[in-house]
Amino acid sequence: MPLSWNEIRQNALSFSKEWETESSEDAEAQSFWNEFFKVFGVSRRRVASFEKPVKKLDGRDGFIDLLWKGVLVVEHKSRGRNLDRAYKQATDYFAGLKERDLPRYVLVSDFAHFRLYDLDENKTAEFPLKDLHKNVKHFAFIAGYQTQKITEQAEEVNVKAANRLGQLHDQLKDTGYTGHSLEVLLVRMLFCLFAEYTSIFEKNQFREYLEQRTSEDGSDLGMHLTQLFQVLNTALDKRQKTLDEQLADFPYVNGRLFEETLSVASFDKKMRETLLDACAVDWSQISPAIFGSLFQSIMDKQARRNLGAHYTREANILKALKPLFLDDLHEELEACGQKSAELIKFQNKLRNVRILDPACGCGNFLVISYRELRLLELEVLKRLHKKETNRLLDVKGLFFVDVDQFYGIEIEEFPAQIAQVALWLTDHQMNMKVSEEFGQYFARLPLKKSPHIVYGNALRINWEDVAKPAELTYIVGNPPFGGKQYQSKEQKAELIAVFDGVKNASDLDYVAAWYRKAADFISNNKMIHVAFVSTNSITQGEQVGVLWPDLAKRGVKIHFAHRTFQWSSEARGKAAVHCVIIGFSLSEIRQKSIYEYDKPTSEPHKIQAQQINAYLVDAVSVFLNKRREPITAQAPLIEFGSMPNDGGNLLLTPQEKDALLNQEPHARNWLRPIMGSEEFINGIERWCLWLAGLDPASLRGMPKVAERVERVKEQREQSTRGATSQLAKFPSLFGEIRQPKCQYLAIPKTSSESRVYIPMAFLQPTVIANTELFTISGATLYHFAILSSVMHMAWVRNVCGRLKSDYRYSAGIVYNNFPWPEETDKQHQKIEKAAQGVLDARTKYPQSTLADLYNPTTMPPDLVKAHDALDKAVDEAYGKTSFKNEAERVAFLFTLYQKITSPLALETKNSKPKKTTKKKAV
């Protein structure tokens, strides 16, 4: 157990006094260092040895004055000698050390001065002997007070640590030691490695035991580990008196971590070496929040190749935790000031926080929540006891926040185990922080309290069996996203069962089930607040109309929302996931907040909101459902393009077209350009055989074309879909034909989110639109104008579905629900004129594709101006001259939508909307 800092300072003063006159390296150096270690309550003999022989960089033999393997090299000189040289000499020895024995610290001294190099941090501390008592904290690593630095840069050591255990995992697995036993063994080894770096065990205790007591060929290592685990699971007074002394020195850990009896693993020389290598990582520096996920991914060789890309960044976790409860707690602490009664009340509140993560993985959300609560409690206690000298305090009785305040559900066993251990490791790291702060060693050993992590399926178990609603305060996590097409049969069934009769529940992402389960759970305690990270698709497109009316019926109110942002930017070669975070409860709160992102990768900015609807907009609550026809008479009908359903046989690249025409020039009459979003926006040339009206004799006269038709027939016949095989009867035709007969407005289905406007254009009926284009037959300049306006784009951006982050325009949700303006004739004319201005501006750049014209960087200034004028004219038609921002614009549209649709809702379901008004065709 480490000495208190006060004791260490006292010892340091005596030490400086005793050694102030010593000068000869040879005579007294070893006693000097023995005494030096004693200052920190550590026996030098236990951790380090003198005069370690080693081959130097130049190949000659040398002797390290003092070596603590993997931690410290000391080089000692006579008084007044050059310390730079001493440092050089110390580092020359590194060449002769095993990788795992390389030290993090180099300490040089001439009795009168100390100079300590921290090679990891690239820092140096230098001071005279007489000031040792003022500098003892530099030697926290000797005293056993080393605390984990809470930085995101901790990644390197975490990755290194996970890799070492990953190797061991592979080696054990290759020998046939697998499954549950392997997982438990690895989690236990993780604990032991961490323990010897953080004063749970004595320094080097685990490593020494392995090095000294197991044979080099590794054959008895498994047996020794088994025995050690038994010891760690046995209270001191229950241990056999004859127990080996070295084993008896290990503490009682409890917490049931070492309870289960595992089959004994067989190790070999290489595996023993790997474990010893793992001992060389500084385990005090691992971050349980990050390490858990890394550790989990070591199980999977594929995932390990990209280690570091698989964990959730702490900053992202805090995006959920801060608005859910941390921001409020920090504010409350500030309000307490230095008032003892308030601080004590606040500490009680901290103890009563209870958090459930119902898809906890390795427990990262719980770990960070716990760490933050402990930091708040530490601050409370610092304020409460700042006047008392630390000597009079008994730190043990002061701290109450503990791991039993955390609950988790996880479907995989290994991460569930890691989550449990990660919370204990965090507990210990925070205890070390307390020890450092109060100068008193504080540890909770044996472990008495346990986190409540349940290994099970959150959608099948009753959450009330995990945590009591009356006791719980928060639910948080990032449940599995699971898009509609990516769910397994079982997951789909679970989703449908959770939504119990809700129409179209099978269209929802898997994550939606956690919302419904949480809403049901908190109906038993309306004080519980919830926040989930989710795919943004539950707030867009079709899913809104399925999920949110159901939640609203249960009284769910959104309190805060992070709008779409990129969740994991690290994953190399992996598509980034676009997420939202939604905080909600069944009660109202005064201050609601929306976190906006200019781009999915940018930093959020917070705005206050009156109300937050399912689209995460500060606007009236509406849920858009798919409609077959537009809600306003001004909007003409929109259609999908035609679907070839031809296995590619009716489609041709320009080269294929030319080759065909070389052989069969008559085919020219039956070839048409065809476009989807890609071709339309990027000006890509594609052709199709459009054989409507072709007589059999002409087809016979074009054998190459006939061959293609034959292949369409075969392909359709082979289909298992009844409708497709029926189409085999008409092999010369597209499967579904919806080609307009007159000029039409084309709207691409998919368009990059980086564009301010989705580019639209008029096309002639000879250009075939495939299903990646929407078509509006006979559209006028006015229709083009409204749909190309910033008003419509604001609507699109907020209600459309997405493909990754690209806009997915839709007829049923986006177009048919859009509220058109009721313009005057004058406004109508002005809008048409402005629309013509946009088309005219485009024609000045005949070489440019729509992609070029609408790329925000390359968009020509006159086209920008033309759009500005158009936007202004359209705004006027809505009776507005300006909007503060897009949020206000969308709120306006939602209100208008509600005005238009509320009377409609009263009409009978089957009433038809009015027909399109005829306007001048272009």
Binding residues for ligand SAM (CB under 6 A): 293, 312, 359-361, 364-365, 409-412, 415, 457-459, 477-480
Q: Which is nearer to ligand SAM, 347 or 369 (CB)?
A: 369
Rounded to the nearest whole angstrom, what is the least distance from the CB of residue 409 to ligand SAM in the complex? 5
Instruction: Give the residue ranges of DSSP H helices in 298-403.
Output: 301-305, 314-321, 327-336, 340-352, 364-384
Only one residue has tokens 């305060």, namely 473
Rounded to the nearest whole angstrom, what is the least distance from the CB of residue 327 to ligand SAM in the complex? 20
The answer to whether the CB of 203 falls within 8 A of the CB of 46 is yes
- CA proximity to 87, closest of 97, 77, 78: 77
The answer to whether the CB of 461 falls within 8 A of the CB of 454 is yes
- What SS3 state is found at 18? helix
Q: Which is nearer to ligand SAM, 453 or 702 (CB)?
A: 453
Rounded to the nearest whole angstrom, what is the least distance from the CB of residue 673 to ligand SAM in the complex? 45
Helices and strands counted in the chain (H then E)? 32, 26
Q: Which residue of this chain has its Cβ atom nearest to ligand SAM in the complex? A: 361
Only one residue has tokens 């304020």, namely 383
Rounded to the nearest whole angstrom, what is the least distance from the CB of residue 635 to ligand SAM in the complex? 40
Rounded to the nearest whole angstrom, what is the least distance from the CB of residue 408 to ligand SAM in the complex? 9
Q: Which is nearer to ligand SAM, 297 or 543 (CB)?
A: 297
Q: Which is nearer to ligand SAM, 157 or 294 (CB)?
A: 294
Q: Which is nearer to ligand SAM, 65 or 357 (CB)?
A: 357
Q: Which is nearer to ligand SAM, 411 or 900 (CB)?
A: 411
Q: Which is nearer to ligand SAM, 311 or 687 (CB)?
A: 311
Q: Which is nearer to ligand SAM, 285 or 369 (CB)?
A: 369
Q: Which is nearer to ligand SAM, 276 or 324 (CB)?
A: 324
- What SS3 state is found at 296? helix
The answer to whether the CB of 366 falls within 8 A of the CB of 426 is no
State the distance between the two ends of the chain, measured CA to CA, in whole angstroms: 87
Other C-beta atoms closer than 10 Å to the C-beta of 471 total 12
d(CA 519, CA 47): 55
Q: Which is nearer to ligand SAM, 452 or 713 (CB)?
A: 452
- What SS3 state is found at 695? coil
- What SS3 state is found at 277? helix
Rounded to the nearest whole angstrom, what is the least distance from the CB of residue 612 to ligand SAM in the complex? 23
Q: What are phi and psi of 801, to 5 degrees?
A: -75, 175
Q: Which is nearer to ligand SAM, 365 or 560 (CB)?
A: 365
d(CA 886, CA 576): 25
d(CA 897, CA 98): 72
The answer to whether the CB of 673 falls within 8 A of the CB of 767 is yes
d(CA 10, CA 284): 26
Rounded to the nearest whole angstrom, what is the least distance from the CB of residue 477 to ligand SAM in the complex? 6
Rounded to the nearest whole angstrom, what is the least distance from the CB of residue 497 to ligand SAM in the complex? 12
Rounded to the nearest whole angstrom, what is the least distance from the CB of residue 31 to ligand SAM in the complex? 52
CB-based burial, 197-224: b 16+ in 10 Å, e otherwise: bbbbbbbbbbbbbbeeebeeebebbbeb
- What SS3 state is found at 616? coil
d(CA 136, CA 146): 12
The answer to whether the CB of 415 falls within 8 A of the CB of 369 is no
Q: How far is CA 336 from CA 339, 342, 344, 787, in A?
A: 6, 5, 9, 55
Rounded to the nearest whole angstrom, what is the least distance from the CB of residue 362 to ligand SAM in the complex? 6
- What SS3 state is found at 772? coil
Q: How far is CA 768 from CA 140, 689, 741, 812, in A?
A: 75, 10, 10, 22
The pair of three-digit structure tokens given for residue 874, joined into one six-digit string: 């359209």
Only one residue has tokens 């050690």, namely 228
Rounded to the nearest whole angstrom, what is the least distance from the CB of residue 506 to ligand SAM in the complex? 16
Q: How far is CA 219 from CA 214, 261, 389, 699, in A?
A: 8, 20, 53, 80
Rounded to the nearest whole angstrom, what is the least distance from the CB of residue 366 to ligand SAM in the complex? 9
Rounded to the nearest whole angstrom, what is the least distance from the CB of residue 484 to ligand SAM in the complex? 16
The pair of three-digit structure tokens given for residue 681, joined into one six-digit string: 């926006």
Q: Is 909 exposed, middle or buried (0-12, 13-18, 19+ CB in 10 A)?
A: exposed
Q: Which is nearer to ligand SAM, 535 or 634 (CB)?
A: 535
Q: Which is nearer to ligand SAM, 458 or 831 (CB)?
A: 458
Q: Which residues make Cβ contacts (< 8 Å) with residue 834, sequence separation at least 6? A: 785, 866, 869, 870, 872, 873, 874
Q: Which is nearer to ligand SAM, 479 or 748 (CB)?
A: 479
The pair of three-digit structure tokens given for residue 417, joined into one six-digit string: 């185990």
How do strand 113-118 and strand 123-128 relate by DSSP bridges? antiparallel
Q: Which is nearer to ligand SAM, 562 or 867 (CB)?
A: 562
Q: Is 667 exposed, middle or buried (0-12, 13-18, 19+ CB in 10 A)?
A: buried
- CA proximity to 614, closest of 603, 625, 626, 630: 625
Q: Which is nearer to ligand SAM, 72 or 466 (CB)?
A: 466
- CA proximity to 146, closest of 202, 198, 69: 198
- What SS3 state is found at 49? strand
- DSSP 8-state secondary structure symbol assigned to residue 815: I
The pair of three-digit structure tokens given for residue 163, joined into one six-digit string: 């890799």
Rounded to the nearest whole angstrom, what is the least distance from the CB of residue 159 to ligand SAM in the complex? 16
Rounded to the nearest whole angstrom, what is the least distance from the CB of residue 285 to ligand SAM in the complex? 20
Q: Which is nearer to ligand SAM, 293 or 634 (CB)?
A: 293
Rounded to the nearest whole angstrom, what is the least distance from the CB of residue 316 to ligand SAM in the complex? 8
Rounded to the nearest whole angstrom, what is the least distance from the CB of residue 189 to ligand SAM in the complex? 21
The answer to whether the CB of 421 falls within 8 A of the CB of 415 is no
Rounded to the nearest whole angstrom, what is the least distance from the CB of residue 415 to ligand SAM in the complex? 5
Q: Which is nearer to ligand SAM, 73 or 290 (CB)?
A: 290
- What SS3 state is found at 321? helix
